[in-house]
Amino acid sequence: MSDVNWTITPGLDLATRAAQAVDRCCALGRFTETPGTITRTFLSQPMHDVHRVLREWMTALGMDSFVDSIGNLRGVLRAANPQRLVIASHLDTVPNAGAYDGILGVVLALALIEASLESAPPPFGIEVIGFSEEEGVRFGLPFLGSTAFTGGFPPELLDHPGKDGTTIGQAIRDFGLDPSKLSNAVFHPETRAYLEFHIEQGPVLEKLDLPLAAVEGIAGQSRFHIQITGQANHAGTTPMDLRKDALAAAAHWICAVEHYARSTTGLVATVGRLQVKPGAGNVVPGEVEASLDVRHLNDSIRNEAVHALLDSAQQIAAARGLTFDAQPLLDQPAVLCAPDLTSSLRRSLRAAGYNDHVMSSGAGHDAMIVAPHIPTTMLFLRSPGGISHHPSESVLVSDVAAALETGLCFLNDLEKDF
């Protein structure tokens, strides 16, 4: 970390601050469980190092900092007005991740505070949070940090085991925290608004040639485990008109899924996993297990699509003399951002000289957990190439500068509401 300057440097312009923020994200990426990649899961050892470095920056900014009982790093810049804005994102990663998903939102928040302190600090408090867990990698459960923050963490979840047999409760203790004190993770009662900076993780802003967008909501998700069952048989001796080929039926249905989604504005539907049995080149496939993932910002449209796609699978299977079964795995309602905060963010984009484009998020974020409890908004930054969850994930320094400028305008715009 010696080649990155973490000291407070007065008088920097936003372009320089943005370049510094990008460098700091890359530097924090060196704290990893797997050398040569960025892999940092819930309460893993490298998270101690991330906390240490970010807390040093928080202290230099005059913030009070602590790590709560679920492992969220929290820094508070206090003001005469006890009400506060929370700016947050997550510090964990997927395996072999990029350097910006999640952690850029935390680094940007601190860079924003540093910039604001040089002009007119907001009269309200700001709390910056680096959530300990969003990706769901270590225990197969996402949003542990923001779930505890909103008071929704059930105590029985502490006994949930990970792949190595360690429970969530034990992982918390191993990190030096006390799982019996989860109440200290709940948001402060004077919290009035929540903002999350995040890379888009998709290609829309790049296609539109826009650096930023206000997020109006996060799409609801439906996920299913699909099974189509026919009859395995010899590939050389079974005539085509006497086959019960489960894979052929699945292929027919997958094309139908794509066609339906393409014809419905805003809908995305994906069959991302197939398991073919018995899986031999000289055997007619007798069984296919598949996944189905359907997302839309409007829950009624999503639910209608789910019904149509499952009905299509049933009909395709029946026409071929096969059986079909669907087991629901997830039904996550769509979450809308607070309209007044989204309007404020759009005004801030215009004030900073940028297009006030609005879009929805197809990916899940901590904001979707927070939004039912605290008025919430999000600002997306362009993802070059639309790439995320991959080592080649990147950001443009000019986009980070645009986000900082928009953030400063947002702080000014919020003053009238606090």
Output the DSSP codes for 52-119.
HHHHHHHHHTT-EEEE-TT--EEEEE--SEEEEEEEEEE----TT--S-TTHHHHHHHHHHHHHHHTS
Separation in Å, CA 102 to CA 290, 362, 366, 388? 30, 16, 9, 11
| Distances, alpha carbon 300 to alpha carbons 183, 297, 304, in Å | 35, 9, 6
Selected from 3.30.70.890, 3.40.630.10, 3.40.50.880, 2.60.120.650, the CATH number assigned to the domain covering 14-219+334-417 reads 3.40.630.10
Instruction: Answer yes or no: are the C-beta atoms of 220 and 266 closer than 8 Å.
Output: no
Q: How would you class 18 by CB atoms within 10 Å of its CB: exposed for 0-12, middle for 13-18, buried for 19 or more?
A: buried
Domain boundaries, the chain: 14-219+334-417, 220-332
Query: Counting Cβ atoms within 10 Å, is residue 242 exposed (0-12), middle (13-18) or buried (19+)?
Result: exposed
Query: Torsions phi, psi of 285, nearest 5?
Result: -60, 125
Q: How far is CA 279 from CA 171, 248, 284, in A?
A: 39, 13, 9
CATH topology of domain 220-332: Alpha-Beta Plaits (3.30.70)
pLDDT per position in the chain (418 positions), as tens?
A: 546 778 898 899 999 999 999 999 999 999 999 999 999 999 999 999 999 999 999 999 999 999 999 999 999 999 999 999 999 999 999 999 999 999 999 999 999 999 999 987 889 999 999 999 999 999 999 999 999 999 999 999 999 999 899 999 999 999 999 999 999 999 999 999 999 999 999 999 999 999 999 999 999 999 999 999 999 999 999 999 999 999 999 999 999 999 999 999 999 999 999 999 999 999 999 999 999 999 999 999 999 999 999 999 999 999 999 999 999 999 989 999 999 999 999 999 999 999 999 999 999 999 999 999 999 999 999 999 999 999 999 999 999 999 999 999 999 999 988 8
Q: Is 333 exposed, middle or buried (0-12, 13-18, 19+ CB in 10 A)?
A: middle
What pLDDT, on the 0 to 100 scale, is given for residue 121?
A: 84
Collect all residues with Cβ–Cβ distance below 8 Å to 169 and sequence separation of at least 6. 158, 159, 179
CATH topology of 14-219+334-417 equal to that of 220-332? no
Tell me which residue of 195, 221, 193 sits closest to 334, measured CA to CA. Answer: 221
pTM of the shown model: 0.91
CA–CA dist 269, 278 (Å, integer): 27
3-class secondary-structure state, position 264:
coil
